[in-house]
Amino acid sequence: MKSDHELVPVHEIMDEKEVRSLFEKMNITQNNLPKIFTSDPQAKKLSAKPGQIIKVHRTDFGNEYLYYRLVVEG
Amino acid sequence: MQAEIINDIKFGTIAPEQIKKLSVVKLNIPDTYNEDGYPIDGGLLDQRLGVIDPGLICKTCGARAKTCPGHFGHIELVRPVIHSEFSKIIYMLLQTTCKRCGRILLNDEQIEIFKAKNKEILDEGFDSGHIHDEQSEEQTSSIKKLKNLKKCPHCGEVQGKLRFSSPTYFYIDERRLRPDEIRDMLEKIDDSDLRILGIDPEASKPSWLVLSLLLVPPVNVRPSITLESGERSEDDLTHKLVDIIRINQRLDQNINAGAPQIIIDDLWELLQYHVTSYFNNETSGIPPARHRSGRSLKTLAQRLKGKEGRFRYNLSGKRVNYSARTVISVDPYINIDEVGVPLEIASKLTVPFYVTNWNIEKAKELLSRTEYPTILNMVSKDGKRKRILDINREDLLKEVQPGHILERQLMDGDIVLFNRQPSLHRLSILAHRVKVLPDKTFRINFCVTKPYNADFDGDEMNLHVPQSLEAQAEAFYLMEVKHHIFSPRDGDAIITNSEDGITGMYFLTKDDTYLTNDEAAYLLGIAGIYELPKPDKNGKYKGKDVFSMLLPKGLNFEEKTKRGDFVIKNGILQKGVVTKATYGGGNRLFVKIAMDYGEDVLKTFIFVSSKVADAYVTLAGVTVGVKEYAPNSKLQEDRGRIIRETLDNASSMVDQYKIKKLEPLLGYTMRDSLERMIIAELNVARSKAEVSLSKNEDPTNSAMQMTFAGSRGNMLNLEQMTMFLGQQATLSGGRIKRGYYTGRVLPHIAPNDIGPTAHGFVTTNFYMGLSPIDLFMHGVGSRVSEVYKYLLITRSGYLYRRLSNALQDFYVTSDESVRDANNNLIQTIYGGDLINPVNSQFAELEEKESK
């Protein structure tokens, strides 16, 4: 599922396989990621559950780059 | 290293039983040593409390001075006293509980309501990690009401009026409560009621707040010092404890002798005073206990508190070895990556010299020297450090062998870190090469003052000597000055010439600068160049050609500047003058040199060109006096014309406004439109003045030339001195309005005048002097800018500090992501675009050249 607001970079929930390979590639655990609250408008729209990882397609410097956030209760 | 995670910290008060358990000795003699100078048993330096003198053995643990941790003792107080630091809590407890039955002054119903509201905390207990304050908002407000309750809801006892007088006096209906009475009351309070009041009965029973046993710290905490005269001087805490025991003893004797109650009460109160000041000698309401000399004693609280207390002074603040600090001064003949170190400092600081088979000859040579540079210490393989003195030098010379480490005095070429506080960015600490010099100040090149934000009006700087080879290598590869010529903020050169150096370069490279053979040779000689460029047919040397000799061979560079094109072809300056812009600040000459020739060549260019520039200003002589600011007739004419035009335009706008014919700006009222239009008109006047000044450029006017070179002064300064000051701004950006209700700023202005001069447009200049009204307006403007400056600095300085602290240990990993010290992922790609601002100008130049 993806968000589609014109002013907000695209957010999407990652599936487990993708998450596992990300953690392996980056040599991190989920606790090393920035957080996003379940009450965040984008997380709400995706109805994200705590523990899931949201992938953000940011373009604020021209080229697209990815950003990952851990969904937490709040 | 991964630190252990602390889950929680719990503070409580100490129980009398715990004191007994901790204590190894009961102290009852108010003295330290007997006549033989031996510690008295049961005195305050009883040997069971631990040993600190070398050679003695602890009577408790059998260990020697260095290993004995010290042991606590105790004093049994014959009458209990209140712990003054807790008297506020005692007061709260007495207020909220019944004086007879000890129950909380809430009825059962209220207790239930309260328990329901704070169920979580009360069920899980105080170990659950809830912070105390979180629960207390409602709690304190409901408990505060309790002090007004007249009758206990449980036993019906009428509650007397409680009064607390700082630090340790409690009264009920104006009858003084004795500490033992208070203890009895506190003992009666039920554990479940204590939980409601926010006290964990497991960790601290309220009755423990009334002391009957006093814990005495080991001698390690209060060491006595032996003065040179052989006299012993005791620690302040020991003095205080002596007082406590002495009064305690007298109280005991008086009680046993059946002394009158008044005497007993007096002594009791004195005991209370000593115990109170033992904990905190600055307790309000009591006079501080003093030494014979009149100095007040430093007791427990004073040891911990404040800037010089244990926390801020000893725990947060640490001192550093292998470092030096002194005043800095300039030396234009020292390279930009060098630092001049006074011989006095260089002969105290050391660098390890690792002895090997290959350098043992050199080691012996240094070791045999008696004067600088020599070896100060030798560390043998087993880690023993020996000081090298004239008497043992010969022996050690035989002893030295590969594997030993010698501590060598600081010498030319050693790598050191140089720092000026406040260290606001990474350029505040750079690695320099040592240059040992006479005199007592650190010397640095003028070009490196900018990154440190240093000047020479008494600034001091710190120097650190990296000891391990790893540290030296790290400093060399990451922190050397030449790697930091470009600022990490925007990629502009930050280590560069400025001020006089710019003036010199500007005059040297002007089109009409010609030098004699002697002059050219002198300048190039300073730069270390011993050949001359081609002279012209008159035998003179063009300034531009002399400058070109300093440039790297074969350099090609071209750029448009405010002062026309700047063209270097094949290492020769063909066209244009060097200004501030050439030395960074937009122009990319430095970037070009760094890109094509490398940092070392750029470093040399900055150093050499600054020496030549300084030499040339001295040679040419640039003077600024009042005559530089005297407007010539042409300028005066322009000034009159511009002011007349401006005032005419403004007054016609005002006239239009007065007959309501003014065309308002989109989205503004007519009044606001007028205001904006007048401000716009006044700004036009300023730019007109600027144009007029530029048109009347005078090559003999040093002030003007310096402005064009960019070394000192700007167009606004010139305008304000020779033309007019212009509109004085307020904090909000509008014109000055404050003053009388008739809309005038001063009584000398006509009521309701909305013209330019009535609201801070100053038509006079600094050369002719300001008219009284103009002076006032200028004062308003000056004050505003001063206030603004203050607001900006305090606010932005603190914002920047918080930001840089938050970002301080982020780093870019090999996969181009940004992590912090705990491997948290901050960014997946550095900056989102992998662009390092230091190199951004390189990229832009490359792009431009490829076109």
Contact A66 B828 (CB under 8 A): yes
Read off the tokens for B720: 């304000």
- The CATH code of the domain at B323-484 is 2.40.40.20
Spell out the domain ranges in chain A: 10-72
Q: How far is CA B380 from CA B271, B375, B726, in A?
A: 58, 14, 75
pLDDT tens digit string along B183-214? 988 888 888 888 878 788 888 888 899 999 99
Q: What is the mean pLDDT of residues B728-746?
A: 86
Say which range, B448-462, B503-517, B690-704, has the weakest mean pLDDT: B690-704
Which residue of chain B has the CA closest to A63?
A: B833
Q: How close does chain A come to B112, measured CA to CA in Å?
A: 30
Instruction: Answer whether A61 touches B (CB < 8 Å).
Output: yes
- The CATH code of the domain at B626-770 is 1.10.132.30
Nearest-by-Cβ selection for B823 from A28, A63, A68: A28
Instruction: Answer whether A18 touches B (CB < 8 Å).
Output: no
Instruction: Give me the residue label for tokens 């998450």.
Output: A19
User: What pTM was computed for the model?
Assistant: 0.75
CB contacts < 8 A (A, B): 36
Contact B832 A65 (CB under 8 A): yes
Read off the tokens for B109: 């119903």
Within 10 angstroms of residue A16's Cβ, the number of other Cβ atoms is 9
Sorted by sequence, the CB contacts under 8 Å of residue B199 that are 6+ apart come out as B89, B93, B206
Nearest-by-Cβ selection for A26 from B817, B822, B831: B817
For testing contact with chain A, the best of B823, B825, B835 (most A CBs within 10 A):
B825
pLDDT for residue B351 is more than 70? yes
What percentage of chain B has pLDDT greater than the value 70?
95
- Interface confidence, given as ipTM, is 0.92
Nearest-by-Cβ selection for B825 from A33, A58, A65: A33
pLDDT for residue B584 is more than 70? no
Nearest-by-Cβ selection for A65 from B815, B823, B828: B828
Q: What is the mean pLDDT of residues B716-721?
A: 90
The angle formed by the CA atoms of residues B35, B40 and B42, to the nearest 5 degrees, is 155
Q: How close does chain A come to B831, measured CA to CA in Å?
A: 8
Confidence at B124, pLDDT banded by 50, 70, 90: low
Where do you find CATH 1.10.132.30 in chain B?
A: 626-770
Cβ atoms of B610 and B616 closer than 8 Å: no
Q: A21: which chain B residues are within 8 Å (Cβ-Cβ)?
A: none
Where do you find CATH 2.40.40.20 in chain B?
A: 323-484
Q: A27: which chain B residues are within 8 Å (Cβ-Cβ)?
A: 823
The angle formed by the CA atoms of residues B385, B391 and B395, to the nearest 5 degrees, is 65
pLDDT tens digit string along B636-664? 999 999 999 999 999 999 999 988 888 88
Could you tell me the CATH superfamily of domain B500-620?
Answer: RNA polymerase Rpb1, domain 3 (1.10.274.100)
What percentage of chain B has pLDDT greater than the value 90?
43
pLDDT at B128: 47
For testing contact with chain A, the best of B2, B814, B816, B829 (most A CBs within 10 A):
B829
- In the CATH hierarchy, which top-level class contains the domain A10-72? alpha beta
Upstream peptide bond of B422 is cis (omega within 30 degrees of 0)? yes
Confidence at B835, pLDDT banded by 50, 70, 90: confident
pLDDT tens digit string along B769-801? 999 999 999 999 999 999 999 998 889 888 988
